[in-house]
Structure 1
Amino acid sequence: MLLTMPHQPDPALRPLDHLAELAGAAGRGDRPALVLREGTLNHNQLRQRVARLAGWLAEMVPDKGARVASWAAKGEVTCLLPLAAARAGLVHVPINPLLKRAQAAHILADSGAMLLIGTGSRLASLEPGDLPAGCAALGEAEALAAAEAAGREMGPSAADPAELAAILYTSGSTGRPKGVMLSHANMWLGAVSVAHYLGLAEDDVTLAVLPLSFDYGQNQLLSTWYAGGCVVPLDFLFPKDVAKACAKHGVTTLAAVPPLWVQLTEIDWPEEARAPLRRLTNSGGALTVDLVRSLRGLFPEARLFPMYGLTEAFRSTYLDPALVDSHPTSMGKSIPFAEVLVINDAGDIAADDEEGELVHCGPLVAQGYWQDPERTAERFKPAPAASAYGGMAVWSGDRVRRAAESLLYFAGRRDAMIKSAGNRISPQEIEEAALASGLAAEAVALGVAHPRLGQAVHLVVRGAADEAARAELPKRLQRDLPNFMQPQHIHWRETMPLNPNGKIDRTALQAELNQEFAQ
């Protein structure tokens, strides 16, 4: 199927759970679909397991549109729930397994989850009041055993593709994580689009190393299954584990974020791990020129796909692998089903080489933020008059420019979001944790350029200067925040710089740290 842009949604558009039916319906049902520790499921078995899990979910949570959360490492539950929940008429809320209790409790409360399925250790960390009223909690094995015992298989849904299918929580520049609402159509068309431009096929094997709570990570499953291929989920401890898995499973498709790519280029790759690789995909931060060269040298036969995206619109652009060597810093052009416009400060289409805001239009645009009309109105606005799609668009806040051959280049962001190791981090979350400790009177979290992480988290605090406090604050943050939010440096100050309005001068602090830690 050839997809072009602008392009209206495929008339064969179906609910998300129909992805599980595609391979078997096309006569590929005996091909492997999902490699788990317990064994491998072929596409026929995948269809059956989705149908059985959906049937049990519909009995456990009979209210259509209710939220079902998962908080676990990669396993059968986390892989099947995106399709099974959709089939049962429910809304899946995946929680990043790296998050700690406080963040998970916020997501559960904010989404109003009625069921949580997770690993025992994570469920045991919850405290009284963390589960919303009426929310049940079950371990992964318990849930799968109950679904198997119930034996009820639920057929493909007839849901309207515009219905809500998932809420993915993502950090913003301020406040707690916000839930991005994705419809069946958003996720279905995302799978179709990626499978198309990556050229995925039924003999492809995707190593899923990214968290399944991210849109980029979840699409590893959906686009591969749309193409009839196989997914190998991997929770790795060391970069060498990735190379070993590639060799063991004959991996053809590997997706990562820049900090992981850096680590992967620093290890030895045996020929049996490199040879099967057909494509490498990157998002969650830009690749440096040096990193592009390292990847091209290490994997000369693999096609490299640099990509840009945001959860509110899934993905906007990709760079054709044929242009990577000649335009290594470009974001590329729009993906199928996406319309990407560059709007200048006057509200018009920017001229070539004129900087403007990236505005994403079309059917990949999410439905807004869950129960947050104020923040939805800030980011989701009517599409510019020049849009071929119209309707609502995502105004990204990212500054870009369109250069020769209509290729896009990233210029910067307007907000204070920290992007570290592929994670979007809210400074306010870190600041709130520091203040809640009672050890800091004021706190400012900032991102400082880092060669491996993209940005490292720095925390500037004013508070008790005694050694006990300085030793205790990192411990408190380690307890209350996930690892990827931990400050690499905590800077203690007797006073904070103030701007003319009497507020902490974040710009001055940023400039000071940038100079001190200049690479």
Structure 2
Amino acid sequence: MRGPADNAENAAAPASSASLPLDHVVLHGADEADALVLRDGTLDYAALRSRVARMAAWLAAMLPTKGARVASWAAKGELTCLLPVAAARAGLVHVPVNPLLKHAQVAHILADSGAELLIATPSRLATLGEGDVPDGCRTQGEAEVMAQVAACTGSLGPSDADPDTLAAILYTSGSTGRPKGVMLSHTNMALGAASVADYLDMAAQDRTLAVLPFAFDYGQNQLFSTWLAGGCVVPLDYLLPRDVVKAVERHAITTLAAVPPLWVQLTELDWPAETAARLRRLTNSGGALTVDLVAKLRALFPEARLFPMYGLTEAFRSTYLDPALVDTHPTSMGRAVPHAEVLVINDAGEVAGDDEEGELVHCGPLVAQGYWRDAERTAERYRPAPAASRYGGTAVWSGDRVRRAQDGLLYFVGRRDAMIKSAGNRISPQEIEDAVVATGLAAEAVALGLPDARLGQAIHLVVRPAAGVEGEEAGAELPRRLMRELPNFMQPRAIHWRDAMPTSPNGKLDRTGLANEIAAKLAKETEA
């Protein structure tokens, strides 16, 4: 049995107080080296640095108050690639909004963050209704902003901000209620980039195909870790998985990050051998890879190293599995990433022994600063680090149940909350349920995540109609209403109508019973 010091994964000593602002860390490529491939051309690092400096100067003129929030709601392009770094340099706080969200979620994020400026594509701005944009928040079209930035004669030099200054708020769904904003400092993001670039062994010769949304920490880090290493980023908003294959070939991609549902789709395609051989590095997060999927990826991309990873927005990245262990330990979460300490704490509040189940607790400088303007939920998740921690301070108590084997490898056991994970998205059941009830067609609703081979979990709705609402009428109208109010990844796979909802002994809706009942019904249908 190991003692506390041996049972803590601490891949690096506590971060030095000499950590730097974000823009100092991620723009160090050689002047003439490719940095960013856009639709209308490629920026080298000299051009990237120049454009970041000009955008930062424009932002500082538009929002002169340090710490003001600027939100972006646009597809991948120059704006969404440069804004995270330019806003940090200007002393502002960037609030990236997932392009897939609809007006209700965007309205909440704008109001909650107190954003003073929203930059978005005109088509997205046109979907916002009366009251969706709060007083004090200006809106500008993406093309208009980029034209003004191009005409800007100013240039803002590297930031002198305290590295612990807030630099971004990333909104993530909670298991209850609306999305909550996770506060990230310069240090959080800069050390996150350094951590990933370190264990992935990124180099200046690498070219990363950025297919994940930049509104997610995993997606945003595609930019930062690649630029820290002096490599090149190729952003891609793909329509079909086949677009990914074409982009890998066209741009000589070496690094691809994805979530399990996309990996499933990619492994079903016919990859030319020479195209598959271009990939040297595959990374996965947003859900666990199955043993079968690991085998398919290893067979399809034999030249690539596969990095399964585990993370949560509240602490960025916690663990990764060494590619050398993937074949022999395909279900493991691996060990702590650099700059992170991961402890397994049992129900007695002590460091768990070998193979004893406990809660994963993340300590160290990757831990975010809490939830924006939400002291109550911050206190629930961000609590003092266990006594065994080498870092101390505040830790993220994940709510995830894990165990550590005798060899030090971690294994996922289960989640304690009701979060639905579908296609790499963390989805709040309550957010869906609130939208259903708000239509006036339902008196009660329960959103469930049931196992699905392609999505990880598929959303199933159990609904009791409102008084006076005919089932047939509601059955046709509810999906139409939800398509207007919820993004595509929150749409239910199926809606199950009930005249009455089952309750548990404590009087609450019996979610577990409903999930088991529907799962059993689906299993019978599959067998038939």
**Are 2:517 and 1:512 equivalent residues in the alignment?**
yes
- Per-residue CA deviations over 1:43-62 (Å, capped at 9, x if unaligned) read 11000000000000000011
Match for residue 450 of structure 1?
452
Match for residue 496 of structure 2?
491
Give the Cα separation in 2 of the matches to 1:152 and 1:507.
59
Match for residue 4 of structure 2?
none
- Per-residue CA deviations over 1:200-246 (Å, capped at 9, x if unaligned) read 00010000000000000000000000000000000000000000000
Match for residue 462 of structure 1?
464
Give the Cα separation in 2 of the matches to 1:129 and 1:117.
17
RMSD: 1.1
Match for residue 64 of structure 2?
62
The answer on whether the counterparts of 2:191 and 2:366 sit within 8 Å (CA) in structure 1 is yes
Give the Cα separation in 2 of the matches to 1:282 and 1:465.
45
Match for residue 236 of structure 1?
238
The answer on whether the counterparts of 2:27 and 2:227 sit within 8 Å (CA) in structure 1 is no
Match for residue 215 of structure 2?
213
**Are 2:478 and 1:473 equivalent residues in the alignment?**
yes
- Per-residue CA deviations over 1:45-91 (Å, capped at 9, x if unaligned) read 00000000000000001110000000000000000011000000000
Match for residue 75 of structure 1?
77
Q: Which moved more, 1:113-122 or 1:464-473?
A: 464-473
The answer on whether the counterparts of 1:70 and 1:93 sit within 8 Å (CA) in structure 2 is yes
Residue 25 of structure 2 is aligned with which of 3, 15, 19?
A: 19
Match for residue 151 of structure 2?
149
* TM-score scaled by length of structure 1: 0.97
Residue 289 of structure 2 is aligned with which of 276, 281, 287?
A: 287
Give the Cα separation in 2 of the matches to 1:20 and 1:341.
30
Unaligned regions of 5+ residues in structure 2, if any?
Answer: 1-8
1:82-121 maps to which residues of 2 (within 5 A)? Answer: 82-121=84-123
Give the Cα separation in 2 of the matches to 1:21 and 1:492.
54
**Are 2:439 and 1:437 equivalent residues in the alignment?**
yes
Give the Cα separation in 2 of the matches to 1:405 and 1:466.
56
Residue 307 of structure 2 is aligned with which of 305, 313, 323?
A: 305
**Are 2:9 and 1:9 equivalent residues in the alignment?**
no
1:91-490 maps to which residues of 2 (within 5 A)? Answer: 91-463=93-465, 464-490=469-495
- 1:92 shift after superposition: 0.2
- 1:6 shift after superposition: 4.0
How many aligned residue pairs are there? 513
The answer on whether the counterparts of 1:93 and 1:167 sit within 8 Å (CA) in structure 2 is yes
Give the Cα separation in 2 of the matches to 1:347 and 1:120.
52
The answer on whether the counterparts of 1:20 and 1:46 sit within 8 Å (CA) in structure 2 is no
Amino acid at match of 2:361: V
- 1:171 shift after superposition: 0.3
The answer on whether the counterparts of 2:27 and 2:228 sit within 8 Å (CA) in structure 1 is no
- 1:5 shift after superposition: 2.4
The answer on whether the counterparts of 2:20 and 2:187 sit within 8 Å (CA) in structure 1 is yes
The answer on whether the counterparts of 2:118 and 2:139 sit within 8 Å (CA) in structure 1 is yes
Aligned with 1:157: secondary structure? coil
Match for residue 5 of structure 2?
none
Amino acid at match of 1:227: A
- 1:20 shift after superposition: 4.5
The answer on whether the counterparts of 1:20 and 1:47 sit within 8 Å (CA) in structure 2 is no
Q: Which runs of 4+ in 1 moved over 4 A?
A: none
Unaligned regions of 5+ residues in structure 1, if any?
Answer: none
Match for residue 45 of structure 1?
47
- 1:4 shift after superposition: 6.7
**% same residue:** 72
Aligned with 2:157: secondary structure? coil
Amino acid at match of 1:480: E
Aligned with 1:244: secondary structure? helix
The answer on whether the counterparts of 2:26 and 2:190 sit within 8 Å (CA) in structure 1 is no
The answer on whether the counterparts of 1:16 and 1:184 sit within 8 Å (CA) in structure 2 is yes
Aligned with 1:452: secondary structure? coil
* TM-score scaled by length of structure 2: 0.96
The answer on whether the counterparts of 2:441 and 2:478 sit within 8 Å (CA) in structure 1 is yes
The answer on whether the counterparts of 1:20 and 1:50 sit within 8 Å (CA) in structure 2 is no
- Per-residue CA deviations over 1:296-353 (Å, capped at 9, x if unaligned) read 0000010000000000000000000000000000000000000000000000000110
Give the Cα separation in 1 of the matches to 2:241 and 2:151.
39
